[in-house]
Amino acid sequence: MLKDITLGQYFPIDSFLHRLDPRTKILIFILDIVAIFMAQTVESYVVLILFTFLVMLISKVPVKMYFKGLKPILYIIVFTALLNLFLTQGEDLPIFGYSVGITVEGAIVAAKMATRLVLLIIGSSALTYTTSPMALTDGIEKLLKPLSKIGFPTHELAMMMSIAIKFIPTLIEETDKIIKAQQARGASFDTGSIFKRAKALIPMLVPLFISAFRRADELAIAMESRCYTGGDGRTRLKEIKFTHKDLAATICFLMFFACVIFLDFIF
Amino acid sequence: MLKAENLLYSYDNGVKKVDTVLDNLNLNIKKGEFVAVLGHNGCGKSTLAKHFNGLLLPLGGDVYVQGINTKDEEMLWTIRRQVGMVFQNPDNQIVANVVEEDVAFAPENLGIPSAEIRKRVDDALKTVDMYRYRKHAPHLLSGGQKQRVAIAGAIAMRPECIVMDEPTAMLDPMGRAEVMETILKLKAQENMTVVLITHYMDEAAMADRVVVMDDGHIVVDDTPRNVFSQVELLKSLGLDVPQVTELAYSLNKEGFDVNYDVLTVTECADAIMDYVRSIKSGN
């Protein structure tokens, strides 16, 4: 049951976005978030929606996948939209001539919030669908590199992240096994009050942690046997490179970004 | 190639020194040899393996790899590069979440340029016959396949020698056969020195030389044939012999004059046939 979880949601196909330098994608994503929160006017939202559509299109990832990404947070979107709709002070907006407590300002804020959230989720999905977890951690490591000058352990952080990602399926499988073993001996994880259930988790978590520590120990020995000495002097199988493709993508994005700023602040 | 001289080791459990695990052990493994190490649980096999690449340092005596003493701290990484290690649990030695990235881990650590890494990774994956799976996620592979990826990860360092600590213990019979096939191939094609620690007598029977350990000592060190014909000795050490040897030995003990100096099914069948023929001609 737990095995079906897809990890990092990477969608392994070949597209322009897949071939971009992960650093480019991460930076564009961060700026995209900034733009989404800066946007105030309808026109700038149109520009951002257009940009998001463009990204979805060139990622070659089926649109269905993006909707799947939206599903888990659909309730949050609806909930925040409703709150904004009813709780914002302002001019009354009658529906079919009746006043139902909705304000004009409320409707605008609700629409804005919903659009923002949807755009954010699609943006982050686009990043994780087109970038493998390995490339993502590599990109983060390279981006944080300047911080290592002041003693920030960038390589260690990236290594920890990628190992953590690698071990998720292994640990999920292990959890599954432990649950089954405990159930076979009469343990029950899904009955009783919330406290009872929480308590029932202890006999599952303890063996899981012990085995995780043992795994960590073995992994450390295996890594040392393969000459791992930390980040210094390490090369990569696939060196990430900033190419003309990345330049084109960056310029293209900056144009959209400039549009948003122009529409919001100058226009 | 690998040499242990008067090797002494004991684990310190923090409270008191536990029994000596390795006690005055001497072993010399030559280049290109395929040595199987046998022994019951806790006899010090794995401890010995960890001495061969400096994961553990001797408390007494010395271990030499290609003439370099493992106590020489400056040469530690030279030693580790020459001795590839494969462990029991494939899940706990695979570092990356794509097969080829994992095989590339060791060469990456050695600071090899990426074009050369690519070549080594492809070569290593082809040697273990996993090239088709280079883009796969390791957790979706079978146990035997994972262990072959781990072997590829070790040979991508281009080591002189490969030490395997019960690589087949967690595998199903099919996975075991795959791994053994890979080991024999490595020895035949690359003239790799192989040290295989195992519990399976049938695997040990494939080696050039079998070392039997008990209580930190080496009890027997000979060819598989000479070792497995000492059935009583092995049994007294809590070890088995290959199934076919066991069969011939039992027949022999029951009064049938079957030669139990056999290691393979064919040899066993021949031995029994010889016996049957001898009776026929005798009558």
Note the pLDDT of residue A138. Answer: 87
Q: If pLDDT is split at 50, 70 and 90, which confidence band does B18 have?
A: low
Q: Tell me: the pLDDT tens digits for A111-165? A: 998 999 999 999 988 998 898 888 888 899 899 989 988 988 888 998 898 888 8
Give percent of chain A above pLDDT 70.
96
Residues A20 and A94 in one domain: yes
How many CB pairs (< 8 A) connect A and B? 97
Tokens 């409270």: give the residue: B15
Residues A244 and A221 in one domain: no
The residue in chain B having the minimum alpha-carbon distance to the alpha carbon of residue A12 is B135
* C-alpha to C-alpha distance for B57 and B60, rounded to whole angstroms: 9
C-alpha dist (Å) from residue B43 to A1, B9, B113: 41, 12, 42
Contact B98 A218 (CB under 8 A): no
The residue in chain B having the minimum alpha-carbon distance to the alpha carbon of residue A168 is B139
In a domain, B198, yes or no: yes
CA B192 to chain centre: 12
Note the pLDDT of residue A4. Answer: 45
Residues B271 and B215 in one domain: no
Q: If pLDDT is split at 50, 70 and 90, which confidence band does B283 have?
A: low
Closest CA to A228 of A153, A144, A155, A149: A155
In a domain, B107, yes or no: yes
Query: Smallest Cβ distance to A236: which of B55, B106, B108?
Result: B108
The DSSP bridge pattern shows strands B83-86 and B193-197 to be unpaired
Residues B212 and B247 in one domain: no
Cβ atoms B260, B248 nearer than 8 A: yes
Q: Does pLDDT of B279 surpass 70?
A: yes
Whichever domain contains B16, its CATH number is: 3.40.50.300
Nearest CA-CA distance, residue B236 and chain A, Å: 32
Q: Does pLDDT of B278 surpass 70?
A: yes
Residues A39 and A101 in one domain: yes
In a domain, A149, yes or no: no
Contact B81 A227 (CB under 8 A): yes
Residues A119 and A161 in one domain: no
> Contacts of residue B101 in chain A, CB cutoff 8 Å?
134, 237
Produce one character per residue of A79-98: b if its CB has 16 or more CB atoms within 10 Å, e if not: ebbeebbeebeeeebeeeee
Both tokens of residue B49? 């393996």
Give the range of the structural domain holding residue B97, as residue numbers without chain letter.
2-224
Residues B202 and B271 in one domain: no
Over residues A9-25, mean pLDDT: 87
B18 or A162, which is more confident = A162
Residues A220 and A88 in one domain: no
Q: If pLDDT is split at 50, 70 and 90, which confidence band does B16 have?
A: low
Both tokens of residue B6? 């008067």
Signed CA dihedral, B139, B141, B143, B147: sign only: negative
Contact A228 B139 (CB under 8 A): no
Sheet containing B83-86: order of strands: B83-86, B161-165, B193-197, B34-38, B209-214, B217-222
As for how many domains chain A has, the answer is 2
In a domain, A244, yes or no: yes
As for how many domains chain B has, the answer is 2
Residues B131 and B271 in one domain: no
* C-alpha to C-alpha distance for B33 and B154, rounded to whole angstroms: 18
Q: Does pLDDT of A194 surpass 90?
A: no
* C-alpha to C-alpha distance for B135 and B145, rounded to whole angstroms: 13
Over residues B28-49, mean pLDDT: 90
Residues B182 and B257 in one domain: no
CA A202 to chain centre: 30
Cβ atoms B35, B229 nearer than 8 A: no
Query: Smallest Cβ distance to A237: which of B55, B92, B101?
Result: B101
The residue in chain A having the minimum alpha-carbon distance to the alpha carbon of residue B162 is A225
Nearest CA-CA distance, residue A99 and chain B, Å: 57
Produce one character per residue of A244-265: b if its CB has 16 or more CB atoms within 10 Å, e if not: eebeebbeebeebbebbeebbe
Give the range of the structural domain holding residue A102, as residue numbers without chain letter.
2-131+240-266
In a domain, B237, yes or no: no
Q: Does pLDDT of B26 surpass 60?
A: yes
Contact B108 A173 (CB under 8 A): no
The DSSP bridge pattern shows strands B60-65 and B34-38 to be unpaired
Contact B84 A134 (CB under 8 A): no
Please list, in sequence order, all residues whose beta carbon lies within 8 angstroms of the beta carbon of residue B280, skipping any fewer than 6 positions away.
Answer: none
Q: Does pLDDT of A65 surpass 90?
A: no
Over residues B152-181, mean pLDDT: 93
Q: Does pLDDT of B211 surpass 70?
A: yes
Mutation site, B50, B56, B102, B108, interface A, largest A CB count within 10 A: B108
Residues from A in contact with B at Cβ < 8 Å: 7, 12, 132-134, 162-163, 165-166, 169-170, 173, 215, 218-219, 221-229, 233-239
In a domain, A59, yes or no: yes
Mutation site, A221, A225, A232, A238, interface B, largest B CB count within 10 A: A225
Q: Does pLDDT of B220 surpass 70?
A: yes
Q: B114 — contact with chain A (CB < 8 Å)?
A: yes
In a domain, B235, yes or no: no
Letter for the amino acid at B4? A
Q: Tell me: the pLDDT tens digits for A87-102? A: 888 787 777 777 777 8
Helix (H) / strand (E) containing A177: helix A154-184
Closest CA to B30 of B225, B159, B218, B194: B194
Residues B168 and B259 in one domain: no
Please list, in sequence order, all residues whose beta carbon lies within 8 angstroms of the beta carbon of residue A97, skipping any fewer than 6 positions away.
Answer: none
Note the pLDDT of residue A5. Answer: 46
Over residues A68-86, mean pLDDT: 87
Over residues B167-183, mean pLDDT: 92
In a domain, A6, yes or no: yes
A3 or B193, which is more confident = B193
Residues A66 and A175 in one domain: no
In a domain, B234, yes or no: no
Contact A162 B135 (CB under 8 A): no
Q: If pLDDT is split at 50, 70 and 90, which confidence band does A217 have?
A: very high
Query: Smallest Cβ distance to B111: which of A219, A224, A233?
Result: A233
Both tokens of residue B95? 């570092």
Helix (H) / strand (E) containing B43: none
Note the pLDDT of residue A29. Answer: 94
Over residues A26-34, mean pLDDT: 94
- Tell me the angle at which helices B265-282 and B243-253 cross, rounded to the nearest 10 degrees: 20
Residues B41 and B110 in one domain: yes
* C-alpha to C-alpha distance for A170 and A97, rounded to whole angstroms: 60
Cβ atoms A248, A255 nearer than 8 A: no
Q: Does pLDDT of A7 surpass 70?
A: no
In a domain, B233, yes or no: no
Contact A237 B118 (CB under 8 A): yes
A190 or A6, which is more confident = A190
Q: What mean pLDDT, rounded, does chain B reach?
A: 90
Query: Smallest Cβ distance to B91: which of A12, A170, A233?
Result: A170
Residues B264 and B205 in one domain: no
For B3-35, give the DSSP string: EEEEEEEEEE-SSSEEEEEEEEEEEEE-TT-EE
Residues B150 and B213 in one domain: yes
